[in-house]
């Protein structure tokens, strides 16, 4: 009996100790490991942000545009007037290096602050080193331009894949805010994709922007042409516009829409775009309902408000007999819809390529083969 009692007592003590140990271990883990995990997550986000910025910021440049303006002088004794030209700053913006030998991507409207024949473009690197750049070209389709400075072994960005962006993804905008605060950084999320809007610059020049990224990362005046990056430090967009009617509503051109420009400049030294030759709007269910269209997706060829033609004369579309009111809903078996705009599909091809279009014309579906030319 004594032995059995001793064994029972020993077993009870062991089980109580084991249970207490498990409880304490769980308590310690919960009390210590929990906050550490949460803190690690916060640090990971912060460290990812810092690393992404540090990776890209050496390749972000400040662009200052100089040109000549007329200055009128008046002789107070005679009243005679003389007109002289004086070199002055006309605008500023942001750009980013896309190659080690000095190619720079920026917005066309940044470059448009000066005249082609007289403008000078001063480039200031994050390191403080300065250059004067040569204008390689303006993009005829998107608000993009390419400059070049002449040096080697320059820092340059890594391009991401804007097609993989999802609403809610973290993005960071870098730029020369207000033309005074070089390499200012703001952070936000992707608020929308596939947006279409009309934007205008301070000179009153308007441009239609199609398939742009919306973000709440602050894009201030002067940020134009700067990179929109993800947390891996890859450029996913080119900052282009803001909606001043709202708060924290900025837009960026998807980097995949700029790849054709970048590739053509690297390969041929100039900007080459394939051209179909139509002006259009992407159809939404609301638009289809309002205009009683036969399809609720596709690209509707329209007559623009500026008086230009919906189908350009002597363009591939014009030669193929396309007309205003036609709906292009398929290209080479690729459906034309929100995520595959007419523009983005055409940019997959080269001038000289032949493509097949499926077109809704009234109640009929017709097929046309067109050979793309170039801008």
| Residue 26: pLDDT over 60 | no
- DSSP-assigned letters across all residues of 41-65: HHHHHHHHHHHHHHHHGGGEEEEEE
pLDDT score at 39: 54
What DSSP string runs through 216-249? -S---TT-TT-EEE-TTSEEEEEEEEE-TTSSS-
Residue 264 annotated in active site:
no
The 10s digit of each residue's pLDDT in 210-256 is 889 999 999 988 899 999 999 999 999 999 999 877 778 999 999 99
The CATH class that applies to domain 274-374 reads mainly beta
pLDDT in tens, 99-132: 999 999 999 999 999 998 899 999 999 999 999 9
Is the pLDDT at 33 greater than 50? The verdict is no
Q: What topology does CATH give the domain 59-148?
A: Thrombin, subunit H (2.40.10)
Q: What is the predicted pLDDT for the residue at 206? A: 66
Give the residue extent of every domain in the chain: 59-148, 158-268, 274-374
Instruction: Choose the catalytic residue: 67, 112, 139, 143.
Output: 143
The pLDDT assigned to 79 comes to 75
The pLDDT assigned to 222 comes to 86
Domain 158-268, what architecture? Beta Barrel (2.40)
**Is 109 designated active site?**
yes
Residue range 193-213, pLDDT digits in tens: 988 887 766 655 667 788 899
**Which of the following is catalytic: 92, 162, 191, 224?**
224
**Token representation of residue 317:** 């579309």
- State mean pLDDT over 62-81: 84
| Ramachandran angles phi, psi of 312, nearest 5° | -70, 140
User: Is-catalytic flag, 143?
Assistant: yes
Parallel, antiparallel, or unpaired: how do β-strands 130-138 and 120-125 relate? antiparallel
List the catalytic residue out of 67, 92, 109, 184: 109
The Cα 307–Cα 51 span in angstroms is 49
pLDDT tens-digit profile of 138-168? 998 899 999 999 999 999 999 999 999 999 9
Mean pLDDT (whole number) for 173-178: 92
- Check for a shared fold between 59-148 and 158-268: yes
**CB-based contacts of 350, cutoff 8 Å, min separation 6:** 274, 372
Question: Vertex 363, ends 287 and 348: CA angle to 5°?
Answer: 65
């Amino acid at each position: 009996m004594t032995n059995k009692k001793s064994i029972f007592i020993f077993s009870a003590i062991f089980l109580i100790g084991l249970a207490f140990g498990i409880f304490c271990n769980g308590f310690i883990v919960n009390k210590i490991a929990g906050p550490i995990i949460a803190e690690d997550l916060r640090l990971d986000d912060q460290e990812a942000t810092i690393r992404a910025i540090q990776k890209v910021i050496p390749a972000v440049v400040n662009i200052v545009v100089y040109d000549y303006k007329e200055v009128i002088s008046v002789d107070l004794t005679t009243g005679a007037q003389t007109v002289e030209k004086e070199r002055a700053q006309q605008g500023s913006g942001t750009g980013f290096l896309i190659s080690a030998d000095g190619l720079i991507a920026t917005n066309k409207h940044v470059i448009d602050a000066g005249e082609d024949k007289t403008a000078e473009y001063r480039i200031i690197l994050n390191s403080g080193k300065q250059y004067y750049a040569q204008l390689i070209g303006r993009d005829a389709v998107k608000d993009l331009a390419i400059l070049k400075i002449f040096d080697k072994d320059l820092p340059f960005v890594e391009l991401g894949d804007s097609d993989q962006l999802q609403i809610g993804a973290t993005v960071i905008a870098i730029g020369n805010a207000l033309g005074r605060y070089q390499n200012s950084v703001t952070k936000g999320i992707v608020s929308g994709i596939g947006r279409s809007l009309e934007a205008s610059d301070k000179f009153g020049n308007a441009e239609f922007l199609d398939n742009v990224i919306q973000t709440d990362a602050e894009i201030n005046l002067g940020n134009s042409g700067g990179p929109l990056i993800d947390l891996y430090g890859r450029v996913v967009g080119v900052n282009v516009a803001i909606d001043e009617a709202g708060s924290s509503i900025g837009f960026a051109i998807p980097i995949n829409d700029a790849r054709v420009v970048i590739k053509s400049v690297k390969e041929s030294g100039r900007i080459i775009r394939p051209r179909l030759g139509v002006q259009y709007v992407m159809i939404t269910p609301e638009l289809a309902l309002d205009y009683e269209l036969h399809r609720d997706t596709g690209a509707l060829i329209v007559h623009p408000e500026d008086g230009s033609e919906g189908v350009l004369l002597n363009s591939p579309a014009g030669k193929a007999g396309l007309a205003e009111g036609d709906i292009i809903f398929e290209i080479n078996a690729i459906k034309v819809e929100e995520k595959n705009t007419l523009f983005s599909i055409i940019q997959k091809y080269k001038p000289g390529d032949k493509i097949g279009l499926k077109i809704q014309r009234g109640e009929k579906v017709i097929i046309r083969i067109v050979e793309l030319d170039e801008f």
